[in-house]
Structure 1
Amino acid sequence: MKIRAILKILLATQTLPLTALAAPITGLFPDMPETFKVDSSSFNYVRRDVMIPMRDGVKLHTIIIIPKGAHDAGMLMTRTPYSADKMAARTSSGDEASSLQGYDNMPDVILDGGYIRVLQDVRGKYESEGRYVMNRPMRGPLNATSVDHSTDTWDTIEWLIHNVPESNGKVGVIGVSYDGYTALTALVHPHPALKVSVPMNPMVDGWMGDDWFHNGAFREEMLPYVYEQDGTPKNTVKWWASQYDGYDLYLNGVSAGAVGKSRGMEQIGFFRALLAHPAYDSFWQAQAMDKILASEGLKVPTMLVHSLWDQEDIYGALATYYALHRSPASSANLYLVMGPWNHGGEIKAASTLGPVALRSDTGYYFRKNVLEPFLAHYLKDATTPLPARVTRFRTGDNVWETTDALPPAACASGCEALHFQANHGLGFSTPGSDASPVNYVADPAHPVPYIPRPIRPKGMEGSPWPYWLATDQRNVTARTDVATFTSPVLTQPVTLRGEPLVHLTASTTGTDGDFVVKLIDVYPDEVADQREMGGYQFMVSADILRGRYRNGFDKPEAVPANTPQLYKFPLPMTNHTFLPGHRIMVQVQSSWFPLYDRNPQTYVDNIFLAPADSYKPATVSIDVKGSWIEVPLQK
């Protein structure tokens, strides 16, 4: 009681002159008031923290940052599972720019446009009420409730247009990765006040080629993310590792399922879902956003942003583009940007891609010359000229290009065959009769690392995860379990624009197996202005196919031992010029560890549950004369 009385006296003194406050105080009292109120009168923005009610009564924590003196301003919203508070951290400067330095913010775009910034915790994360579900499916067979991300966006916008008088009633949604996913879900039955959406590197189809799987191979590096993101509302439980090298951690753990269970992940609903749905069944197909939006139709102007070296979500933006572009009504609202970035690299300074020099800040170019006019046209002034339908960066030559549309997906037309040749050669001519099979032994006890060891997993200090796709491939070229095919030195530039399509004919002594195919730009032995790049092997497109899915992603089947099989699958989009003096390389291997879980190479019903004794070496034989990559060659 005495302490409270003293506090009341102290708080009352706030209106006293400094001379009175400086008077001596006797007795012991606490320094900290019960509630500290920030004096923000000198700030150049106003921050409002509100709890916005949804249709089911759940309230979502929302931060609204309004430039001082704003009126008739557009609102730019991001819905996130990564903490709205962290994205709008209070700073000592009192400047709006410094309060927008957190993940997924672009202070230059927000400030240049004079936008009201809206940041919201999705239901069940951080300060929002409700229960969290990873990539909560749309209402329907997988979601029997009355709410999803689409309805939460609709309800939030409805509240904003009636409660933010400084706005003009126009709302845009924007976000990277998971926040890009919520920007896509906003397009399902959109609110009339939603005028524009910018999904950047969005999660779209977690099985086909985004976060969780690629063509059936599980991305074991994502286990820590699932553990932390789904374990607690505020990510307070942290992944722990008993080995410094992630290679050892996952190798000793045997299977991805066993590693997860050793960390108690069977408590997590999404982990149980992963184990229950290893194939591309209705669980995955029904929540793929490209399929949902193709059925829904695109009613809101939307700019999809794709990173050509996206280490997390390299599939979704382009899958959505192709799904929507087939409809004239949807394509009328569709725009696309492709840049030389890693995951989310477009919102930062981006003059390099790992060690690869791009010769300009490509992130700044995108934000100033493409994104800002696009947002301004729909949120501020419709007379602002719109960017081209497709804006893309071509590496090698390092130039920006514009076009009306992308080429057809997966080399549907206009491609040429880049053939495997005798003596580990590579070229556009048909291989001769001397092209003998190339063999290697794939041993699950010694899988091929996807980056040089020791491997610091995603999220760990010192991890090379953000730029691993640009890692020099010389670290695996000399391995005997990697088949390498290389062209002669180029005398003319070779430009590829589109999705290469692998035609790999191979047999294995096992009854299952993975195939990784990498398309690589080999630099000259000496690079005049960047000596450290001499001989660099720069991966421009690569992916994996789990052999059991060679005849259908929803129907796994064993691989017949010692019988040649065709493994046909697309590689990610490339827009790259192989310059004169460079060489083109293709690498084939059967593991990419621990990026992807190991294939036992013995057929089992569920690789997540594969016992240790099922992991056996297998000899892989590549039919050189029957293997090639269709490449989108620009003549």
Structure 2
Amino acid sequence: MKIRILLALIFVNLMQAQKFYFPKTAVTDSAILDKQMPLLATKLMTQPPLLKLKKTSNLAFSDNLFRLQILTKEYKKSISTLADYRNEFADNNMAGNRFIIYEFYSLAKLAEEKEKISFHDALQKAFNKKYESLSDKLITKLGTAVDGDVQNSRKVLNEALSKQKDKDSIDYSSALSLCKSYLNYKTFSSLKPQIIQLVEAKDREKFIIETKDLKTKNGNTLTITIVRKKENTSPIPVILTNNIYAGPFDTYFGKRAAVYNYVGAVVNTRGKRNSNDENNPFEHESQDIYEVIDWVSQQPWSNGKVGMIGGSYLGFSQWAAVKKLHPALKTIVPQVAVGIGIDYPAQNNIFMSYMLQWINYVTNNKLTDEADFNNFTKWDSINTAWYKSGKSFRALDTISGKPSKIFQRWLDHPGYDEYWQKMVPYKEDFAKINIPILTTTGYYDDDQIGALSYFKAHHQYNKNANHYLVIGPYDHGGAQSYGFSYVGGRKIDPAARISIDDLAFSWFDYILKNGKKPELLKDRINFQVMNTNTWKHVPALENMHTSTVKFYLQDRKNMSSVFNQPSQKSFIKQIVDLKNRDQKDTYHSVSKTDSVKVTNSIYFESEVLDKDLIISGNPGGFFNVSINKKDFDTDMYLYQVQPDGKTFLLSTHIVRASYAKDNALRQLLEPGKIEQIPIKNSIFISKKIEKGSKLVLLVGVNKSPAWQINYGTGKDVSNETIKDSGEPLEIKWYNDSYVEIPIYQE
């Protein structure tokens, strides 16, 4: 075994060390670069790392191969590889527009060569032919699919080339990265702006697209885009989307509604597109959307019925809209809805560094700053610089070089106070919401906690709530579009690969056109059980499980099972130095093939399970702890160790201990006293756990550049600095603490 591992390491090192000839003159001479790139791509296509991908991840292999084939001018093969990729990526060609811009490039190149015509004429010919084969649903996505960023792709290419300055060779990973950035620039610059004009010309044939500015009663300006199918001449229902991400998606959202035979109306928030008003995300939606609904419901193309749809911020907007319900609003379909003040910009009262990146994304200009938002290297370095500096979290915007009033204002509200409460329905407000609602979210959705918080509150305060939930193995994007074959690099069950668009508009047909209820909605809660290829349907969230097991925080070496309550009370002591900024990550081997990161965590492991079980719902329970400070931020990770030794993350939970009992009221801990921290708002999952698996539980302290650091003084955490760290945080985790795991049985 040791010899095989050693040989594998030697092989990896050799591959990393392998160099390919690449003249330094290619960095500054575009003619030489154009000549060298096909040669470099040809070499990469036969290299072991690429060929090995075919065995380990056919998806990743195809993703790389079609790009290299384009560079080597094997255009027919690239189109075939792309088709294989799409079939693997999502069934029924639901991802039909994925990478279609490269297909247009290859088709145009083939036509250029075969018919001896200009590339301009070849692109028009190829576009028209391909367009005829696309369904209406794929046509709606075409404008955004071909809108490659030429300027940014040129910047990325220059950055890749600059790394080769004064070098005559290039390693494999750098070469592959260079090939991709070169292809992006070559494709985007060759096709734009012609292909955008071609899409717009086709849109004009099919749709009536209008953009107007609306004036609110307070004098604010909102830009609205209306899209109608030319063939729909009678008044029909309107599907409204409230969009802070002004840009190409405005037209896309409108066209999407239009092809399902609705009027698509997409309004941008204050400060976006043609609005010169101040842009304060989340703050004015309730008021503004009411007026927008009032306007669209009275237009000649509207029959007076309005529905709303959208995901993330657009999902939040719908809950803001029902804070003051307009009579014309008949239904909403909030997808992966941001739970403002609940899961963003703080999750369970812990602010995230990402909030500043997002604020800049939507406020830097009248549209969206894609280049800045997607500059992950920049934002990683900013967050790391803050973390290393030991400065207060309030200093993050200053460290970024761009102070932000919005960032500072949000930090002024660490509890779920009136500032957040007034943006969406709160408590008894939910009792007044009597329109039908369809919520969609996923087990991997970043805003799952928010989406479910609205669902739970609606049913809590309105016992007759006509509110359905669909949840499955979807991430933030998948739960508002279509079910990809892969999520997080893992293949999902075929039954889960549904079109969320089809589901949503079938719902609109059901509510707004007296159509048939979507087949999937057999009960209020509709959830896909991973690893079973089945859906389950129950009347309430608590019915997602039929029993629970308690996983106690104790060392299994001293007992028969972590699932048995300990006979004697004891604790495990954990010490975390909050001022240590050079801490190295540590890992625990769970098998011969996998490990989990245990930095700042305590590791607990169950025995091997002797039968299959289905974990379904979200873990609860309590942590009984005593600490030497007034507060700390705790996290929890629940893993499955599969029979093959691979780990699978089932659920996570983070919370500020002082807000764990009430997210609106801070209750500091008393140093040295045993305190109980409830586990609420953990991540939902439904998955069959195979016999022969183990469960692994990690509990510990949340401390990373991605989040605020709670030094435990009891002061506003945003104002604490490394000087407040004092002595290391000492936690006693008592063994009568437990994570309660929900189990489903037929």
TM over 0.5: yes
Selected match of 1:474 from 595, 609, 612: 595
CA distance in 2, matches of 1:523, 1:633: 17
Q: 1:81 Cα deviation (Å)?
A: 0.6
Conserved 8 A contact 1:60-1:129: no
**Bigger Cα displacement from structure 2, 602-611 vs 154-163:** 154-163
Q: Give yes or no for the alignment of 1:65 onto 2:227.
A: yes
Q: Give yes or no for the alignment of 1:75 onto 2:194.
A: no
Conserved 8 A contact 1:200-1:344: no
CA distance in 2, matches of 1:71, 1:551: 55
- For residues 53-132 of structure 1, the aligned pairs below 5 Å read 53-72=215-234, 73-83=236-246, 85-88=247-250, 100=252, 105=253, 110=257, 113-132=260-279
Aligned partner letter, 1:362: A
Give the TM-score, by structure 2 length.
0.65
Aligned partner letter, 2:248: K
Residue 305 (structure 2) aligns with: 170
Aligned partner letter, 2:272: K
Selected match of 2:472 from 336, 339, 345: 339
- For residues 56-455 of structure 1, the aligned pairs below 5 Å read 56-72=218-234, 73-83=236-246, 85-88=247-250, 100=252, 105=253, 110=257, 113-136=260-283, 148-165=284-301, 167-206=302-341, 208=342, 210-235=343-368, 238=372, 245=381, 248-254=384-390, 255-263=392-400, 266-268=403-405, 270-291=406-427, 293-295=429-431, 297-311=432-446, 313-327=447-461, 330-331=464-465, 333-346=466-479, 347-360=481-494, 362-368=496-502, 370-383=503-516, 387-388=521-522, 389-407=524-542, 415-423=548-556, 427-433=562-568, 436-446=570-580
Q: CA 1:290–1:243 in 2, change beyond 3 Å: closer, same or farther?
A: closer
Q: Give yes or no for the alignment of 1:597 onto 2:708.
A: yes
Residue 730 (structure 2) aligns with: 619
Q: 1:408 Cα deviation (Å)?
A: 7.1
Q: 1:224 Cα deviation (Å)?
A: 1.2
1:276-308 Cα deviation digits (max 9, x unpaired)? 22233333344453536425x213211112222
Conserved 8 A contact 1:290-1:319: no
Conserved 8 A contact 1:450-1:593: no
Aligned partner letter, 1:614: D
Conserved 8 A contact 2:618-2:684: yes
Q: 1:545 Cα deviation (Å)?
A: 1.9
1:368-399 Cα deviation digits (max 9, x unpaired)? 4x433211112333455673322111223342
Secondary structure of 2:286's match? helix
Conserved 8 A contact 1:308-1:340: yes
Residue 549 (structure 1) aligns with: 659
CA distance in 1, matches of 2:386, 2:441: 30
CA distance in 2, matches of 1:537, 1:491: 18
Q: Give yes or no for the alignment of 1:523 onto 2:642.
A: yes
CA distance in 2, matches of 1:222, 1:416: 36
Aligned partner letter, 1:590: V
Q: Give yes or no for the alignment of 1:567 onto 2:677.
A: yes
Conserved 8 A contact 1:77-1:174: yes
How many residue pairs match? The answer is 532
Selected match of 2:717 from 585, 590, 607: 607
1:467-490 Cα deviation digits (max 9, x unpaired)? xxxxx993414x4x3211111121
Secondary structure of 1:162's match? coil
CA distance in 1, matches of 2:203, 2:690: 57
**Bigger Cα displacement from structure 2, 283-292 vs 574-583:** 283-292
1:440-484 Cα deviation digits (max 9, x unpaired)? 32122457999999xxxxxxxxxxxxxxxxxx993414x4x3211
CA distance in 1, matches of 2:490, 2:595: 15
Give the alignment's Cα RMSD to 1 decimal. 3.4
Residue 180 (structure 2) aligns with: none
Q: 1:60 Cα deviation (Å)?
A: 1.6
Conserved 8 A contact 2:438-2:468: yes
Secondary structure of 1:576's match? strand
Conserved 8 A contact 1:520-1:539: yes
CA distance in 2, matches of 1:338, 1:448: 40
Conserved 8 A contact 2:382-2:400: no
CA distance in 2, matches of 1:155, 1:247: 40
CA distance in 2, matches of 1:401, 1:113: 28
Q: 1:315 Cα deviation (Å)?
A: 1.7
Residue 29 (structure 1) aligns with: none
Q: 1:583 Cα deviation (Å)?
A: 1.3
Give the TM-score, by structure 1 length.
0.75
Q: 1:330 Cα deviation (Å)?
A: 4.5
Selected match of 1:538 from 636, 648, 662: 648
Aligned partner letter, 1:132: N
Q: CA 1:538–1:290 in 2, change beyond 3 Å: closer, same or farther?
A: farther
Residue 610 (structure 2) aligns with: 491
Q: CA 1:588–1:125 in 2, change beyond 3 Å: closer, same or farther?
A: same
**Bigger Cα displacement from structure 2, 275-284 vs 511-520:** 275-284
Aligned partner letter, 2:242: R
CA distance in 2, matches of 1:366, 1:81: 21
CA distance in 2, matches of 1:448, 1:280: 33
Q: 1:68 Cα deviation (Å)?
A: 2.2
Q: Give yes or no for the alignment of 1:50 onto 2:212.
A: yes
Aligned partner letter, 1:213: A
CA distance in 1, matches of 2:225, 2:204: 19
Aligned partner letter, 1:357: K
Conserved 8 A contact 2:228-2:258: no
Secondary structure of 2:289's match? helix
CA distance in 1, matches of 2:616, 2:451: 16
Conserved 8 A contact 2:625-2:734: yes
Aligned partner letter, 2:573: N
User: Sequence identity of aligned pairs in percent?
Assistant: 21
Residue 73 (structure 2) aligns with: none
Conserved 8 A contact 1:199-1:305: yes
1:150-182 Cα deviation digits (max 9, x unpaired)? 3432322333233343x4433211010111111
Q: CA 1:384–1:306 in 2, change beyond 3 Å: closer, same or farther?
A: closer
Unaligned runs of 5+ in 1: 1-31, 90-99, 137-147, 454-471, 527-534
Conserved 8 A contact 2:570-2:734: yes
1:506-533 Cα deviation digits (max 9, x unpaired)? 2233443221111212222x2xxxxxxx
CA distance in 2, matches of 1:172, 1:558: 44
More helix by share: 2
